[in-house]
Amino acid sequence: MSDINKVVLAYSGGLDTSVIARWLQDTYNCEVVTFTADIGQGEEVEPARAKAQAMGIREIYIDDLREEFVRDFVFPMFRANTVYEGEYLLGTSIARPLIAKRLIEIANETGADAISHGATGKGNDQVRFELGAYALKPGIRVIAPWREWDLNSREALMAYCASHDIPVDYSNAKKKSPYSMDANLLHISYEGDILEDPWAEPEEDMWRWSVSPEAAPDQSTYIELDFERGDIVAIDGQAMSPATVLEHLNEVGGANGVGRDDIVENRYVGMKSRGCYETPGGTIMLKAHRAMESLTLDREVTHLKDELMPRYANLIYNGYWWSPERRMLQTAIDDSQTVVNGKVRLKLYKGNVMVVGRQSADSLFDESIATFEADQGAYNQADAEGFIKLNALRMRIAASKGRSPL
């Protein structure tokens, strides 16, 4: 007899999680609560309700988390200019702590003993979901069916549906993309099929959010972004909520061929994985935010942030959003953003994002000092001689002792 009475399942309504819902009922003889999150994946989430009801699910949660996702997860991450391994803007990674948080909230509300997810035993998501869950509710049980069952192919899942009366639209299932995809307001990712060969070029019809740079307009698109404390609050003078900002940037970026990436990354579990990503809005946000910081942040603060960023990126990629070290870093990052206010003007053209203007009341740029013209004594160039000699002192001493660098 199972000691699991109720499980909260992260439920998409797709084939995998529909099988999991029934498998949990049969294997653990437990009640299943489904949770479906709308984080901007671009697909209707309400059909998940009918599918869950058809399997006898009585407690069904469908939540619109788009604003919370961008406000409390995406924006804080972009304040740090976060990039994993030089390229990946962490679109999948940053959604997982929010889903883990809501799973635990629902478990508390419904008195559930456990949570469950559809992540495989090969990927990063299992780590992200479970580290978040344990950080928020240490005694929670986690059921990961892909680590327990022997349904290891799409054909096996379809056969399970047929033998257990699970409603599946077989025509749509056969038309399903050959790629494993994950989407939210920040990005859409593609893995599997021909992408498992790192030499194979992605097919053009794979991409969903962006036109190819070759097919992008021949005329540049200009946009102006207003920042307050490191976050974009308006586009072209129009105030927008966090989710609306990202939606708009995705549209304008995708229309100009911005945001495609093809990466081989190092997964936390040890293997290398090839994935393709579309992150048009995030690509624009990163470029604009760095431009705003270049005008307003102190030099050493900027450099320290750049040193900390790879550690911060690893924490998010590996699932440690709810860790004390990530929260400590976030406090320092957010403190630096009090002066990151102003406006950045960008030019988008055939996949490129170019900064063409920036201004701020908190600017540290002093034209009277930086000018190549007469500076009226604002900077004494003779001071540079002593500055250079003092910085060269240790090298001069070493060379005089025979420690030549040649």
Residues with catalytic roles: 16, 96, 125, 180
Q: Can you tell me which residue has the tokens 């969903």?
A: 208
Phi, psi for residue 397 in degrees, rounded to 5:
-65, -45
Phi, psi of 62 (to 5 degrees): -130, 110
C-beta of residue 261 within 8 angstroms of C-beta of residue 279: yes
Pick from 319, 207, 317: nearest CA to 265: 317
Strand-pair category, 238-239 with 260-266? unpaired
Q: How far is CA 13 from CA 10, 169, 201, 208, 254, in A?
A: 9, 11, 31, 21, 27
| Of 35, 48, 69, 125, nearest in space to 247 by CA | 69
C-alpha torsion sign, points 332, 335, 339, 341: positive
Sheet holding 188-191, edge to edge: 180-183, 188-191, 272-278, 260-266
Of 17, 43, 46, give the one whose Cα is nearest residue 32.
17
- Those residues with Cβ within 8 angstroms of residue 399's Cβ, 6 or more apart along the chain or in another chain: 405
